[in-house]
Structure 1
Amino acid sequence: MRATAAVAIGVGATAAVVVASLVQAAGDTPIAAALTAAVPAEYQTLIEEAGNTCPEVSPNLLAALLRQESGFNSRAKSPVGAQGIAQFMPSTWESHGIDGNSDGKRDIWDPEDAIPSSAKYLCTLAQDVKDVPGDKQSNMLAAYNAGSGAVRKYGGVPPYKETQNYVRTINAASKGGGSGKTVTAQQSTAALAAARKMLNQPYSWGGGNAEGPSTGICCSPNGSSGTDIRGFDCSGLTLYAYAQVGIDLPRTAAQQYAASQTIAAKDARPGDLVFYGNSAASIHHVGIFVGDGVILDAPRPGEHVRFSPVYNMTDLYAVARPKQNTNKEI
């Protein structure tokens, strides 16, 4: 199975742009899908063009995949050796990498080669698994993560937790692009107010839903179980808070980041989400920004919902604002 890279990107380090330029032919027939997702400005054109390589791939899908793979970091390298912005394994690059910028070499570290190669590889995988039952896009993404053989073997997305989360996260991000509109300041403030009412609720691993505190599941990485504790974990709290204002967030912190729009730290307002991790794929914690360097969060087993300093954890990754049209179910 492929592994995404652990790459630190500071808050506000990625400049984002929103592009909406649907090209249409006579009769209003779309001939190119539009990019509406937030991506670094330097990759906008590359993703717009490569995202129309075949009907199975769109610019928003490609942008979501690159964010999940590397956080748009062209120097990313995973612990298992996947390289570059699209996280190709060297062996896969040898057979599927292309010279996207026609400079005479295929460079896995060059986004001008890696981004179109990623799109072309997705198209190849779509053909490889076209006869497999189930959702075609999900099967294609699963093949990118786990290989076509695994998708064919299991008759769809394989029963690997990493691959299932990978597919769910990218699908959510690609479908969440839409108009690019984020929640209003009024919604953010109301979500924060809802979360405040949960102060002192106990931490429960896997606990919390749109209705409020709930018993959780077993078990956290350190073996903590929430099965006998009614409360919230970090993403359960944020899911609950935004459900109160009509916004359905995905369940995990990493999925919530993918379904939100990154903003500069200086633009943070009460109710925005603050994420922690070393890459988009390794996000492990989320809190709700209160202001003045403070978040409201469910920090860890044995603790309660509380106010914490923003820099209480050393791996602050990004501040992001949920989108209006996020979906809990993929």
Structure 2
Amino acid sequence: MAALVQAAGNDPIGTALTMAVPAEYQNLIEEAGNTCPEVTPNLLAALLTQESQFNPKAQSPVGAQGIAQFMPSTWQEHGIDGNGDDKNDVWDPEDAIPSSAKYLCTIAEDVKDVPGDKQKNMLAAYNAGSDAVKRYGGVPPYKETQNYVRSITALANQNKGGGKVATTEQAATAINAAEQMIGAPYSWGGGNANGPSTGTCCSPSGRTGKSTKGFDCSGLTLYAYAKAGIALPRTAAAQYAASEPVKPGDVKPGDLVFYGASAAGIHHVGIYVGSGWMIDAPRPGTQVRYSPMDTMPDLFGVARPTSNNNKEI
């Protein structure tokens, strides 16, 4: 595992890199992250985390390649020789990282006239294409794209204000709050910092929470940690991005357990209580309950909430 370093800086979304990244990529990200005003070192680092977890050999099932997950056709058009060795190599981070920044800047220019937040529109276009952003006048209503934008934005901002990970006491408070809600009905879109609430419509299976007062998975974790004084974002994907990942051997009660094929595709979260068990709100038709961590086959990772998340992403 590459050593992690953290550069000094006062503004995580400004020109200084404040995110922890593998040491061998720090200078590349700092330099490439100032290619244009819409791209910052933290934003670029967050995107690379989202795309590949800094794995230069990453390859997706649909054919995206390298640390920045370029599709071959996109690489052919936008890949550059970043290190001056006369090769445009998608597998070489010295080429792929500056290419990613340059491509983001190209996209930012393409969607510059679209209303709304320029960085979010740029990220949405990176994920769903510029035409979709233009057609919808901003981030398109695609769940994957919306999660993608939320996750990268939250991750790029996660160190703002010098937040610290949840303490043992905060974790215990969150677990206790979740335990008090065992038996509460599942409600799609239900739950907030004040407790159970009626939800929204509709789940992927068409179930509505509008007539049910309760919690969905991320509503439960949001509520539990609100009781501990930590404000989490609303969705499971954004909660992962706004928390600090922990290694399997370091998992502690109170940590959040996430499920999904990728950081952008996280679809479920629970609160770890120990011995391989968690408290969660599983799905429509169920109640808040204790569940084994292997209740779903796509465990993505475990992360510890941070105390600096003071607004919804």
Pair in the same fold by TM > 0.5: yes
Residues in 2 aligned to 1:165 and 1:319: alpha-carbon distance in whole angstroms: 18
Matched residues in 2 for 1:161 and 1:202: separation?
Answer: 24
Q: Distance in 2 between matches of 1:58 and 1:73?
A: 20
1:36 matches 2:18? yes
- Cα 1:234–1:267, aligned 2, differ >3 Å: closer, same or farther? same
Give the corresponding residue for 1:128.
Answer: 110
Q: Classify the secondary structure of the residue corresponding to 2:101.
A: helix
Q: 5 Å matches for 1:93-112?
A: 93-112=75-94
| Alpha-carbon separation, structure 2, partners of 1:279 and 1:42 | 24
CA change 1:68–1:235 in 2 (3 A) is same
Residues 41-66 of structure 1: per-residue CA shift (max 9 Å, x gap): 44333323322223321111112112
Give the 3-state SS of the residue equivalent to 1:142 in structure 2: helix
**Residue 262 of structure 1, CA deviation:** 0.6
Q: Please give the residue correspondences for 1:280-291 in structure 2 after superposition, counting only pairs within 5 Å.
A: 280-291=263-274
Query: Can you give the 5+ residue segments of structure 1 that lack an aligned partner in the other structure?
Result: 1-13, 24-31
Pair 1:21 & 2:2 matched:
no
Alignment partner for residue 143 of structure 1, among 125, 128, 145?
125
Residue 67 of structure 1: aligned partner: 49
Q: Which amino acid aligns with 2:18?
A: T
Which residue is equivalent to 1:307?
290
Query: Which residue of the other structure, out of 300, 306, 309, is the alignment partner of 1:326?
Result: 309
Q: Secondary structure at the match of 2:56?
A: coil
Q: CA deviation at 1:261?
A: 1.0
- Which of the residues 188, 194, 211 maps onto 2:171? 188
In structure 1, distance between residues paired with 2:155 and 2:220: 20
Q: Distance in 1 between matches of 2:134 and 2:208?
A: 35
Q: Aligned equivalents of 2:286 and 2:22: distance in 1?
A: 37
1:107 & 1:51 partners in 2: Cα distance? 19
Match of residue 113 from structure 1: 95
Is it true that 1:293 corresponds to 2:280 in the alignment? no
- Which letter maps to 2:218? S
- Aligned pairs for 1:211-290 (under 5 A) are 211-290=194-273
Paired position in structure 1 for 2:69 = 87
TM-superposed CA distance for 1:283, in Å, is 1.6
Q: Report deviation, 1:80.
A: 4.0
8 Å Cα contact 1:19/1:34 also seen in 2: no
Separation in 1, partners of 2:157, 2:230: 15
Deviation at 1:328, TM superposition (A): 3.9
TM-fit CA distance, 1:122? 1.4
How far off its partner does 1:249 sit? 1.3
Distance 1:152 1:302, change over 3 A: closer
How far did residue 164 of structure 1 move?
Answer: 2.9
| 1:149-168 map, 5 Å | 149-168=131-150
Contact 1:70 1:279 in 2 (8 A): no
Cα distance change, pair 180–63 in 1 and its aligned pair in 2 (3 A): farther
TM-score norm. by structure 2 comes to: 0.88
Distance 2:106 2:209 in 1: 42
Spell out, residue by residue over 1:4-40, the C-alpha distance to the aligned partner (whole angstroms, 9 max, x if none): xxxxxxxxxx7673502349xxxxxxxx822222334
**CA distance, structure 1, for counterparts of residue 94 and residue 80 of structure 2:** 10
Quote the offset at 1:273 in angstroms: 0.7
> Which secondary structure does the structure 2 equivalent of 1:211 belong to?
coil
Give the fraction of aligned pairs with identical amino acids, expressed as a percent. 71
Higher relative contact order (CA 8 A, sep 6+): 1
Q: Is the 8 A contact 2:57 2:66 kept in 1?
A: yes
